[in-house]
Structures are given as C-alpha cells and as structure tokens.
Amino acid sequence: MPKRKGFTLIELLVVIAIIAILAAILFPVFMAAKAQAAKTKCLNNVKQIAQACIMYEDDNNGGMVPGYIVGQWGDWYSLINKYLKQMNPGADGGFELRGVYFCPSMPRSLYPNGQEIPDNLKRCYAINAAYLGGFPNENEFHKNSELAKATTTVRVLETWNFREYRAASKGWGTAYCYPPIKKSAYAIQNFCWPPGWHNGATAVGWCDGHVSFTTVGPPSIDGSNMRAEDYKGVMQKYYRDDNNAAHADPWFRLSYPKP
C-alpha cells in the first residue's frame, strides 16, 4: 500500500486551530509588553527633562527654568537644550523637537489636508510655568530655594491639548501644564489635560528630580461627561479638598500647605 503524502484536511484544521489558540494567548502578552515598554520610555523621558532642569538651576544660582522669556528663541526648551541636545532650528525661525519630548504612546495627529502636525507641536511634556515662573505675559520668576516641598511640586507634566481636535485629528501638545485653579480656563478635561495614555496613568516629573505616574479623570474630547470628581491626583483643586482659596493647587504651588 503506497504511503500517504501531505496532510489530510482534518490535520490541517487541527494545526490551524492550535496556531489560532496560541496567537490568542500570546497576543495580549505581546501587547502588554509593548505598553509597558512605552510606559517605561515615557517615564525615562520625563526623568531626563527633570534632570536637565536641575542642571539649569545649578548653572543659574538656583533660578528655576522659566516657561518663557521675551525674545528667547524656543521658549523653555532652548534653555535646557544644552543639556539634552533634543532641539533643532526649524522653518521661519521656529524650532523642532525630537526624541525625549515625544511620548511613544502619543497619537498620530493629522491636519484636514492629511499632513502630519509639525514636530514642535508633538511636545508631550509641559512645564509648570504658572507657579515656577515665566508664564507668558506674567513677569514672575522664582528660585528653587522658594520651594516648600520639592518632592510634591510638579515641574513637568505629560499634557495634551484636546481642544485642538478641531484643527488636527488628534489634537497636539502644549508647552505649559495648567493648575486647576490658577489657570482654570485651560485646565479642563476637553482642553489642556493629562492624557492618561498609559492605562489611565500620566507621567509627572517633580521639582526634586524624581518621577512617577499620576491618575486623574479621563479627558473629555467633546466636552461631555466632565465631572468634578475628575479633578484628582495632581489635578486636585484644593489641599485636602477644603475649598480654601489660600490652599489652591497643592501639587503645583511653591508654598505650604503641600501634600
């Protein structure tokens, strides 16, 4: 009796079924590993930026990196570029960011004509200029000696401008993060808000140089379902939620009371 060559239909189906089962088991594992790698990379980005800010302070008698200085090319990015080397001149006197300023989980955002937003709008990490100094049109600057508690004062926060979904398919970044009381017009869920790209978590760099993740309420792109309870984590409005105006923005402010 001649030997049978190849597989029978049943054998092929069994093999295909086994492959499908293995794929179903392993795919979530691979996706989880990819998400964890992106989360680690994001935290490392924030760490580098926070350390560069500390180096700037060391070279400037404790003066904290201002968000903006009149006539200064490239805002606060250019002030720490000597330490990071992650910024280049762009077209028309602008600038281009790269590497450390891009979260790997950042969405790809396109203009209506299909063109991708420029690199200087892909900035994922925003500085706390509202309290640390150098917020545009505010002649206010500070030194690190004024920090009551550096370990609980936001320096850099992963932030995304969701309101610009009207101009680009997925919005774009912002140079500044906004404390919920002092800059309440910006710090809302459908405007400039921590994106929570890492399973709801957002990266934050503190004034002492350490980094961590914070969890706040999710962004609300269309402005619906915005809730008062979403102001939690670093977006907490008042120290111990006491509604005392003198205790506003506990995670952003320089002075006590602090968490």
What is the per-residue pLDDT across 218-259, written as a single tens digit (0 to 9) for each? 998 887 778 889 999 999 999 999 999 999 999 999 999 999
- Please give the pLDDT value at position 26: 67
Residue ranges of domains in the chain: 10-247
For residue 7, pLDDT over 70 is answered with no
What residues contact residue 117 under an 8 Å CB cut-off, 6+ apart? 109, 110, 111, 168, 172
**Model pLDDT for residues 150-189, shown as the tens digit of each residue:** 999 999 999 999 998 889 999 999 999 999 999 999 999 9
pLDDT tier at 36 (50, 70, 90 boundaries)?
confident
Looking at residue 196, its pLDDT comes to 96
In tens, the pLDDT along 84-129 reads 999 988 777 778 899 999 999 999 999 999 999 999 899 999 999 9
Query: How many residues does the structure list for the chain?
Result: 259
Q: What is the pLDDT of residue 239?
A: 96
- For the chain, give the mean pLDDT: 91
Q: What pLDDT is stored for residue 244 in this prediction?
A: 96
DSSP 18-54: HHHHHHHHHHHHHHHHHHHHHHHHHHHHHHHHHHHHH
